[in-house]
Structure 1
Amino acid sequence: MEQNEPVFVISVAAQLANMHPQTLRQYDRMGLVVPQRRNGKHRRYSSVDVERLRRIQELSTVGVSLEGVRRMIELEREAAALRDQVMQLQRQVTLWRSQAQAMGPGGVRVFSAGSTGEVSIKKNGREARARQTRSWGMFELTR
């Protein structure tokens, strides 16, 4: 069973989260945990939803208000998304570095841009300057 697959009816999800079904309905209205709907009416909760319900209960037990819980969950989601993005960027950097190493020292180019828009290109230890032309935003090289 996939974690995001909506399989639990409200009574089962409430029992798994150790809550009353009415509490789950309230959280749904507040947008804290929004289950998927089957046939337009029946709420179905996934394992991820049940874990989120448990997290809400944990935070509420230590005195965090529901608005605080909502904000904390939102921040946790943002942090997880940012962690995923950092990991993806790290993989790209690793790939680019390995490609640059495979090209050898003669094949590596380094580009840098100045504050006025000039671009400096270093290849094989030699430097060339580029300036933006007015047509099509293209660059022409000058030495």
Structure 2
Amino acid sequence: MIHQYDEPVYLISVVAKILDIHPQTLRQYERENLICPSRSGGRIRMYSQRDIDKIKLILRLTRELGVNLAGVDIILRLKDNVDDMETEIAQLRHELQKSRNAHSVSPDKALVTKKSIYEMIIFED
């Protein structure tokens, strides 16, 4: 069975085993608001593949780069902001391309012509 990237399907014990970390580490990351796993009806933490990938990034930042959890929080927030901006830029580019393609009259045959930005006004004494 194939699961969606955001579908919460992994228990905390499974994620801890996959990542070779203690479940308390995952609970600490949740207390620090670095991750936010889904909860089942019985309040059991359920992790998605997206959550696991985020935890891998956190582990890399802390273990390999020596970043503390406060620094990880800042990095993750900045990463989210950059991702949001990249999405917005892609949408704006798409809208721009769409508006460029929507011209029924080619720009060289448009009714409005460009005038020189220079106009001469001569004042006489």
TM-score (norm 1): 0.72
Answering whether residue 15 of structure 2 is matched by residue 27 of structure 1, we say no
Supply the AA of the counterpart residue of 2:41. N
Supply the AA of the counterpart residue of 1:124. V
Answering whether residue 37 of structure 2 is matched by residue 49 of structure 1, we say no
Higher RCO (CA < 8 A, seq sep 6+): 2
| Gap regions ≥5 residues in structure 1 | 109-122, 128-143
The structure that is strand-richer by fraction is 1
Distance 1:71 1:40, change over 3 A: farther
SS in 1 for 2:50: helix
Displacement of 1:18 in angstroms is 2.1
SS in 1 for 2:21: coil
What's the C-alpha RMSD, in Å, of the aligned pairs?
A: 1.8
How many aligned positions are there? 112
Counterparts of 1:107 and 1:28 in 2: how far apart (Å)?
61
Runs of 4+ in 1 over 3 A off after TM superposition: 105-108
Counterparts of 2:114 and 2:24 in 1: how far apart (Å)?
71
Contact map agreement 1:33 1:49 (CA 8 A) in 2: yes
Answering whether residue 116 of structure 2 is matched by residue 124 of structure 1, we say no
TM-score (norm 2): 0.82
Contact map agreement 1:106 1:124 (CA 8 A) in 2: no
2:6 to 4, 7, 11: 4
Identity fraction in percent = 32
